[in-house]
Amino acid sequence: MQQLLLLHGAIGAKDQLDPLAENLKDHYEIHSLNFSGHGGEPFPETDFSIPCFANDVLNYLNQTNIQQINILGYSMGGYVAMYLARHRPKLVNKVITLATKFYWDETVAAKEVKLLDPNIISEKIPAFVKQLQQRHSPNDWKTVLEKTKEMLLQLGKNNTMKLEDYKDISVPCLLLLGDKDKMITLEETVAVRGALSNAEFKFLPNTPHPIEQVDENLLSSIIRGFVD
């Protein structure tokens, strides 16, 4: 049975991927983890960053004695998966990204950071605040947001994975994007697909950005078709 690692997105946690894990458990040995500072995990000694979260994955693979693994990364998790495929290719068998934002500059980062204002979130979507409180307890959800904002601003100044980096990735990759995703552009996704030497692209119909609104059965079918 092949092994599949599920990676969550920014300000998220591994439990958001539990429904997908349940759907796939009879086909793969499923693994998941919370990135540092997420899901109640201790904050890292360094700032939030893609290399920091990639190191979380490396530590997990080392602890579980996994030599090579398939990775499904949602949103930021997909970026981490690509970073690992670029820098530690022997550990990665295949990569699937879902709703991953690849292109960053200062304008893009500033726009995304505005969505992470805790005061606005508290005022307009208090139910989401409760989710964040529960998801990251005992950590302060506002600290998670603040550290994420700092990471995005740094990505805007110096994108960790530039387009030319993808040319050095040889592992098979599948890039998935919902057709109603307002956060990720088709252009940036297609650009990365074009830079990769072994990549496919698929649209998910009637699918916005949040992982909770993705059709689990459809996604599971696509994953099995690509990994198997």
What whole-number distance in Å separates Cα of residue 159 and Cα of residue 52?
15
Q: What is the pLDDT along the chain (228 residues), one digit of tens a residue?
A: 899 999 999 999 999 999 999 999 999 999 999 999 999 999 999 999 999 999 999 999 999 999 999 999 999 999 999 999 999 999 999 999 999 999 999 999 999 999 999 999 999 999 999 999 999 999 999 999 999 999 999 999 999 999 999 999 999 999 999 999 999 999 999 999 999 999 999 999 999 999 999 999 999 999 999 999
CATH superfamily to which 3-102+161-227 belongs: Alpha/Beta hydrolase fold, catalytic domain (3.40.50.1820)
Q: What angle do CA 174, 196, 206 make, to 5 degrees?
A: 35
103's tokens: 């292109």
> CA gyration radius for the chain?
16
Q: Check residue 99 and report its DSSP letter.
A: S
Residue 142 is inside which H or E element, if any? helix 141-157
